[in-house]
Structure formats: C-alpha cells, structure tokens
Structure 1
Amino acid sequence: MKRIIYLAIYALLAVYSCGNPSNEEKAKTLIKNYIDKHANDPESYEAVAFGSLDSMTSISMIGTGVEYANLQRDFDKSMDMEKRKSIMAQQQEILKDRQGFRITHKYRANNAFGAKILSEDVFYINARLDSVLTVRKVGE
C-alpha cells in the first residue's frame, strides 16, 4: 500500500514539474532571447552561469525615482487628507509597475572585434517575466 502511495505521489510530482516552466526557467529563456536579439554575434553566445532569481521592488530600478520623489514631496507638503490619499494611490501604482526580478548572468560572446569576452550582467525583468526592463554590468 505504501508503495502505491509513493508511486502516485512521484507520478503527480513528475507531471506537475513537467507542465509549467519555473520562474527561473522563464527568466533564463528571456535572457537568452534578449542576448540573441542584442549581442554583436549571437551565434557565439555561451552561458557560463546564472545567479539566483531575486524578486525586488525598487523605484530606482528603471529610473522612476524622480517621479516617486516628486509625489513624496507633494505628499509631505499637503495637509489635505484626500490629496494625500490620491498621492499614496499614485505612488502605489508606480511601485506596482516596478515590481519584478533580477538575475545575474555570466556568459561568453564575441565582441564587435570578434574576440570572445567574458561578461557578467544583471538583468532586470518585469513581474510577469515576459520582458527584460534593463541590463547593467555587475557593479554599476
């Protein structure tokens, strides 16, 4: 009886894990597609390592810090409770749009001169995992 239960659990896990790609798999596919589209020589691309997929909310992640800061300044100046509620709602919308993921990726690819170089970039991906928002070199 135990054997049947273990086999059933194993079968369910196998079916479930094959059905939908994980968030990390989606991110890796998205990164590979991004590199295929933007690299000097996409055919030379070799993945070396992927970091872990980190979820994040950052108003500076894609340059909306100024918009958010202006709303915060208006919030601090205002004494009207309705205006403050409106400002808070606008800030929440900004943050909602800026939720997403980041993952570090180390790879080799040919540069514009044809020399193979090792690169390590941080890819910022939206919350739906369907778009690369921005890419930065590690340490920037």
Structure 2
Amino acid sequence: MKKTITILGLTLLMVSCNSNESKMKSGIKDYLDKNAKDPKSYEFVELKILDTVTVGEVNKRIVDDLTYDIESAKKDIVFQNKLITDYPSLPSTEQKAKIKDSETQIATLTKELEANKKDFKDKNVVGYVATHKFRIKNGFGALDLSEMFVEFDKDFNFLEMDKNLNYSVIKIK
C-alpha cells in the first residue's frame, strides 16, 4: 500500500512539473515568435528556476525602493535650500517650487511606504525567476547561444524576458 501511494505521489509530482515546464516553455516560445529576428531558428537548451518570489520579498523591495525615493527627495530639498542660501541674488521661486514638489512627493511616498510595511515573512508565492539558455540566429544569420532571465507569475504564465534581472513585473495582485 505504501509503495502504491509513493508511486502515485511521484507520478503526480512529475506530471505537474512537466505541465508547468511545458507552460513556461510555451510562453517563452510565444514571446520569441513575436520578438525574435528569426524565430524559426530557435533551439531550446535549458530552463532553470533560480528564485521563487514571495509576497514578503516583494513588500521588502517596495519598501526599499520607496525609502530610497524619500531619501532622494530629502536630499533635493537640502540642495534647493542651499542654492537659496548661497545665491540670494538669484530669484528663488524656482527652488521654492522644487522644494514644494519634493515635500509633496515625500508625503505621498511616506503614505505608500506605510501601506506597504506589511509582513515581510509572508511566504505566499507571487512568481518565479528562471534562466533560459537557447540558440537562435542573430541579425547576421549566425546561430548564437544566449542566456536570458525570464519571469513567470505564480501560475507559471510568462511575464517578461530580459538580459537583466529586475523583478520589475512581479506584482502583488
């Protein structure tokens, strides 16, 4: 009985993994069919999941980005005030307008920051990041080996393919 359950479990696991992998490959192929110079020359080499992105990780990235933007706006206020102080003969209306804009931006970003200070330990999956190696003809007709990062949502639907890893398209819904 234990052997039957184990075999059944392993079979189910292999079928679901193959289903997810074929869904990912299909999304990549569709993307390349629309965007590659010679999509018919595409040859799959390897697809490897690098990272499982969770809600907590996304919240942490959002908070880090907002904190950086707030600090940048604060630095701009200091800079504009220094211009006003160091150059009193110049009209300061432009600097005062920039200070006001930065203050408004800080207020908006601070509200957004507080709204995103959620549980960073939330392990619910929102997406996956993988590397994809493939061969495809370049503009000169030569077959190149390429490697790109690919982002998928939690259901393994294709989101983006890029040479740089940016996590920009994985959002909490």
- TM exceeding 0.5: yes
Change in CA separation of 1:88 and 1:137 when aligned onto 2, cut-off 3 Å: closer
Change in CA separation of 1:112 and 1:86 when aligned onto 2, cut-off 3 Å: closer
What CA distance in whole angstroms lies between the structure 2 residues aligned with 1:137 and 1:12? Answer: 37
Larger helix proportion, structure 1 or 2?
A: 2
Matched, 1:106 2:133: yes
Change in CA separation of 1:89 and 1:23 when aligned onto 2, cut-off 3 Å: farther
- Stretches of structure 2 that go unaligned for 5 or more consecutive residues are 74-102, 119-125, 166-173
What whole-Å deviation, never above 9, does each CA across 1:65-93 have from its counterpart, x for those lacking one?
4x66335768xx77xxxx9665321566x
Change in CA separation of 1:91 and 1:39 when aligned onto 2, cut-off 3 Å: farther
TM-score (norm 2): 0.49
Change in CA separation of 1:85 and 1:117 when aligned onto 2, cut-off 3 Å: closer
Which structure 2 residues correspond to residues 1-140 of structure 1 after superposition, within 5 A?
A: 4-15=1-12, 17-18=14-15, 21=18, 23-56=20-53, 57=57, 65=65, 69-70=68-69, 87-90=113-116, 100-136=127-163
Q: Report the count of equivalent residues.
A: 120
Task: Decide which structure has the larger Cα Rg and report it.
Answer: 2
Query: Could you tell me which amino acid in structure 1 is paired with residue 68 of structure 2?
Result: A
Give the secondary-structure state (helix, strand or coil) at the position aligned to 2:49. Answer: coil
Give the fraction of aligned pairs with identical amino acids, expressed as a percent: 29
Conservation of the 8 A alpha-carbon contact between 1:40 and 1:110: yes
Conservation of the 8 A alpha-carbon contact between 1:104 and 1:122: yes
TM-score (norm 1): 0.58
Conservation of the 8 A alpha-carbon contact between 1:49 and 1:105: yes
